[in-house]
A = this chain, B = another copy of it.
C-alpha cells in the first residue's frame, strides 16, 4: 500500500513574501513535493500558461466546481474567484507525493478544517519579532505609525495561533531552509509513520 503524501500549507499575512518563498522552494534542490496550481476566473495575462500559472476557468465552470464540492478552498477577490481544486491535490497525495499550497490566510483556515493532519506554516514579517525594539528604540516613528504597526502585529499574531509553525521571512534562503527542515521532521512524526510499521508486522 502506497503511503499518502503530506499536505503542506504555506500562508501568512499579505505582503510577507509567500510567493517569493514558494518560488525559491520550487527552484531549489530540495523540491521533493508537488506545487498545487490554483484555479482562477481572472483573465490570463500575457506570458501566463494555463495549468502552470493557474488553471484558467470561466465563472460558470468555477461555480460548478464549488457546487460539486470540488474546491479544497476558494475566495472571491475583486469579482474573481481564486481557489485550490481538490482533485489534483488528492491525486498527488494518493500517489505518495507531498503537496505544497501557497495560499491566503482565509483559504488556509478552510483547508485546516478539511485536512487537520496537514502541516500549516505561517510566514511572519521579519520585523515582527524586532517590533518592540524598533518602535521603542530610536523614537523616529510617529505615535500614529507605532500604533498602526502594533495593531497590525496583534492581528498577525492572532492569525499565527491557528498554525503549526511560525517561520520568519528575514532572508528567503533561510526561510526556505527552515521550511524544508519542518517538512523533513514532520515525515518522522510517529502518527505519520507508525501505520507503515504496523502493516509490516501484521
Contact = CB atoms under 8 A, between A and B. Distances in A.
Contact of A165 (B164, B178, B182, B190): B190
B185 A181 contact: yes
Interface string A176-198: 00100110111011100110111
Contacts of A186: 185
Contacts of A201: 131-132, 150, 153-154, 157
Interface in A22-39: none
Contact of A178 (B163, B182, B184, B190): B184
The A contact surface, by secondary structure, is helix
* Total copies of the chain: 2
A167 interface: yes
Interface string A111-135: 0000000000010000011011000
Contact of A189 (B153, B165, B188, B198): B165
A188 B185 CA distance: 12
Contact of A197 (B157, B164, B167): B157
Nearest to A124: B197
A105 interface: no
A158 to B, nearest CB: 10
A128 B166 contact: no
A63 to B, nearest CB: 35
Interface of A: 122, 128-129, 131-132, 150, 153-154, 157, 160-161, 163-167, 178, 181-182, 184-186, 188-190, 193-194, 196-198, 200-201
Given A122-B190, A165-B185, A165-B188, 11 more contacts: A129-B200, A131-B201, A132-B200, A153-B201, A154-B201, A165-B189, A166-B190, A166-B193, A178-B184, A181-B181, A185-B186
